[in-house]
Amino acid sequence: MGLLRDLRYELSTLVFGLGILSMVLAVTYWLLFDASPGWLQNIDTAIGNWMIWVAFLGFLALLGGGYYFIDTIRKEREFDHLVNTTSKEIFVKNQKRIEELAYYHLPSAYEKRYLQKRKEFRIKG
């Protein structure tokens, strides 16, 4: 699970990119076949009757990868907002959410930032 957590940006971008590529292939196959370049027509022809599956799985990859990428950015911003406080009281109040983000959702570099901030505020435990 640690590897998936550390490669969160890369994996979400990869899945999102494959979804975009699949949707481009599907659109050129059904809507723009005559207007597309020769190399793209060759790919579309090679895929042939399997294009419905390419379109279906591409749509799912587009939705899933896009959501995963946006969710990562949202959690990163939330973490930055919670950690970049100068008040020890606010930090301790939000510590449970910061730990959840650092240990379960974001890459391990955020865990190090969290521990550094705890050391800065002299929080033990």
Q: Given this model, what pLDDT does residue 1 score?
A: 60
Q: Is residue 125 part of a domain?
A: no
> Domain limits at 77?
2-120
**Structural domain total, the chain:** 1
CA-to-CA separations, 52 to 12, 15, 26, in angstroms, rounded: 23, 18, 8
* Count of CB atoms situated within 10 Å of the CB of 80: 12
Q: Is residue 28 part of a domain?
A: yes
- Res. 56: pLDDT tops 80: yes
Q: Given this model, what pLDDT does residue 36 score?
A: 87
For the segment 11-41, what is each residue's pLDDT rounded down to a tens digit?
999 999 999 999 999 999 999 888 889 999 9
Q: Is residue 60 part of a domain?
A: yes
121/29 Cα distance (integer angstroms) = 59
Q: Given this model, what pLDDT does residue 53 score?
A: 97
102/105 Cα distance (integer angstroms) = 6
